[in-house]
């Protein structure tokens, strides 16, 4: 995923976005302004819903950046260079220049992102409870919505198939078991293809029930299958390595 805009660096890591991230902001803010916020906090003006929706969408994109930074900073700790972080419509990508020396490093790098999302979700739940009042406010509901989304991001990313974080956790465990990162990648790639197909089928099921959210699941499933297939193909051409913890 090539970046369209470069915003600067954090800890020396180039941070950028693909133009499609604007689509994410529009979809999230529109959904919040048209349906979610009016249902949760009725009686406000359209302007209030839209301003809140846009602000929440921007904060959600920032939470995706935190997720990717957790991966990248952990990679730097294990002396794995980070080329860049790029945010796009379906999430974010941390481009690493190689593997850590051990499966333990690979495990911790993969787990860092979901751990960050889990932490943000927990903070959001706590913040929402602190803001709780007799009548729900836009701020309270926005914080709780962000909490739920970050917790969902954590759970979804732990599905056991590359390129998802859960697939990279699986790869690290298989690397530790087999002593061969190439074989571990090949197995995790097959798992990723299976996960992608299941996500796409869930999207089809939603479309059958006339839920437009199925289109998003179809797109995500398609991307997962493509990425998993590409990683499996690359694994077959890598030199054999036997580094273990």
Are 136 and 173 within one domain? Answer: no
Are 211 and 178 within one domain? Answer: yes
Domain containing 173: what range?
159-245
Q: Answer with the one of 158, 190, 216 that is the final residue of a domain.
A: 158
Are 132 and 66 within one domain? Answer: yes
Show which residues are catalytic: 68
Does position 162 have pLDDT exceeding 80, yes or no? yes
- Region 98-121 average pLDDT: 96
Are 150 and 194 within one domain? Answer: no
Give all strands of the β-sheet with 5-10 in edge-to-edge order. Answer: 5-10, 13-17, 82-88, 91-96
Q: Which has the higher per-residue pLDDT, 136 or 221?
A: 221
pLDDT band per the 50, 70, 90 thresholds, residue 85: very high
- Region 93-114 average pLDDT: 95
Burial 203-225 (b: 16+ CB within 10 A, else e): beebeeeeeeebebbbebbebbb
Are 177 and 57 within one domain? Answer: no
Are 52 and 68 within one domain? Answer: yes
Are 151 and 176 within one domain? Answer: no
Give the C-alpha distances (Å, rounded to integers) separating 85 from 6, 10, 69, 72, 198: 10, 10, 8, 8, 28
Strand partners, 15: 8, 85
pLDDT of 131: 86
Are 39 and 154 within one domain? Answer: yes
Q: Answer with the one of 102, 123, 158 that is the final residue of a domain.
A: 158
pLDDT digits (tens, 9 = 90+) for 12-58: 999 999 999 999 999 999 999 999 999 999 999 999 999 999 999 99
- Residue 195 has which token pair? 């996960």
Contact 85, 94 (CB under 8 A): yes
Q: Dihedral (C-alpha) 197, 200, 201, 203: value to the nearest 10 degrees?
A: 170
Are 16 and 127 within one domain? Answer: yes
pLDDT of 118: 98
Are 111 and 218 within one domain? Answer: no
Q: How many domains does the chain have?
A: 2
Are 78 and 143 within one domain? Answer: yes
Are 137 and 17 within one domain? Answer: yes
Q: Answer with the one of 158, 182, 216 that is the final residue of a domain.
A: 158
pLDDT digits (tens, 9 = 90+) for 177-216: 999 999 999 999 999 999 999 999 999 999 998 887 788 8
């Amino acid at each position: 995923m090539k970046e369209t805009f470069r915003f600067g660096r954090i800890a020396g890591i180039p941070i950028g976005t693909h133009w499609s991230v604007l689509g994410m902001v529009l979809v999230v803010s529109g959904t919040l302004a048209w349906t979610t916020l009016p249902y949760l906090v009725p009686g406000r003006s359209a302007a209030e819903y839209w301003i809140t929706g846009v602000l929440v969408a921007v904060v959600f994109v920032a939470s995706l950046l935190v997720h990717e930074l957790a991966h990248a900073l952990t990679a730097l700790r294990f002396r794995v260079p980070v080329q860049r972080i790029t945010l796009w419509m379906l999430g974010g990508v941390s481009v690493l220049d190689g593997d850590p020396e051990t499966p333990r490093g690979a495990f911790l790098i993969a787990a860092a992102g979901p751990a960050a999302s889990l932490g943000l979700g927990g903070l959001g739940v706590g913040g929402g409870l602190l803001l709780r009042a007799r009548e729900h406010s836009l701020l309270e509901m926005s914080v709780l919505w962000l909490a739920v989304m970050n917790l969902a991001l954590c759970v979804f990313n732990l599905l056991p198939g590359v390129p998802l974080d859960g697939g990279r956790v699986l790869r690290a465990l298989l690397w530790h078991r087999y002593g061969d990162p190439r074989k571990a990648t090949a197995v995790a790639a097959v798992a990723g293809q299976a996960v992608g197909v299941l996500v796409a089928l869930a999207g089809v099921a939603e479309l059958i029930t006339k839920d437009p959210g199925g289109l998003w699941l179809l797109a995500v499933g398609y991307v997962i299958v493509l990425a998993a297939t590409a990683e499996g193909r690359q694994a077959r051409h890598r030199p054999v390595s036997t580094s273990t913890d």
